[in-house]
Each structure stands twice: as structure tokens, then as C-alpha cells.
Amino acid sequence: MGKYDELLEQVDALIVKDDWIISNMANTASAIFDGMDALNWAGFYIVREGILQVGPFIGLPACVKIKPGDGVCGTAMVLKKTMLINDVHTFPGHIACDEASNSEIVVPIIVKGEVVAVLDIDSPYLNRFRADEQLFFESVGRKIEKVWEDIG
């Protein structure tokens, strides 16, 4: 069993189809933050009136609204692809919610072709996120998409 298979199973058990999407996101953020090393922020931004707005998360208080195309989150939203940033200080327009952040990964949550939310994970370490961890976060994203689809 791979390092993250167990955590993925844990997340899978926490995500309950009949529960509110916000509750599912809150427990998912908590499981990630608790289950992985060297993170300082883990959570979701949710699209509301066309803008990413902060959702359930663990970490320091964050900026509330991010426009499409702004920062790493808004770029993931527009490009509809995972952004793995080894050094956020080299990313033009990076939004520093927590000065301690040095690397970041953002996975878009896509339902019926539209980005409905993003999963955003920050680390105080440079080069924190590896390819297998990207796959793990993308698998978490697919699980959230599935419950979102079931609800919507």
C-alpha cells in the first residue's frame, strides 16, 4: 500500500454522500492537515458569483475572495488544471495569505465542465510537493467532485 493510500481511504470514509458539501470539505481539509507533514494551510475555495471565496480550511485566516486568474488559485480555476508551485515567490501574482508559505499545490474541482471549487494546500518548505502527492490531492479532488455531482 502506498504512503497515501491509507490517507485516501480515510478521506473516502469521511466523505459522506448525503452530508452537506461544506461538512465534507471541512473533514477532508482536517484529514489532510492532520495526516501529512509540513503543511501550514489546507482547505478549499468555493466559486460563488464567479469568484473564489474561502471555504472550510485549517491554517491562518486567509484572503476571502480571489478573482479568476489571480494567484495560484485563480490560475488553477482559469486553466482548469493542477498548479504545483515549488517556490511561490517565483509565481507572478502569488497571493501570500500566510508569509510562511513557500510552496503550494492547487487542484481544481470540476463538475460538469465548470470549476466549482479548488483544493489549496500550502507548505512552509520549498519543493514540498512531489508527483505522488499531486496524484493523491487529485484523487481527493475527484472524490469531492463525485459528492458534489451527486448533490447537484
In the bound state with ligand SME, the residue whose beta carbon lies nearer, of 122 and 136, is: 122
- Min separation Cβ 44 and ligand SME, Å: 10
Does 97 participate in binding ligand SME (rule CB under 6 A)? yes
Could you give the count of Cα atoms lying within 13 Å of 77 in the half-sphere of its Cβ? 23
Q: How far is the CB of 72 from ligand SME (least distance, A)?
A: 4
Stretch touching ligand SME by CB under 6 A, among 20-28, 93-101, 129-137, 138-146: 93-101
- Order the strands of the 83-85 sheet from edge to edge: 65-66, 51-59, 41-48, 114-123, 103-111, 83-85
In this structure, what DSSP letter does residue 88 have? G
| Binding residue (CB under 6 A) for ligand SME from 24, 103, 104, 144 | 104
Q: Is 72 in the site for ligand SME (CB under 6 A)?
A: yes
User: Binding residues for ligand SME, per CB under 6 A?
Assistant: 41, 62, 66, 71-73, 94-95, 97, 101, 104, 120, 122
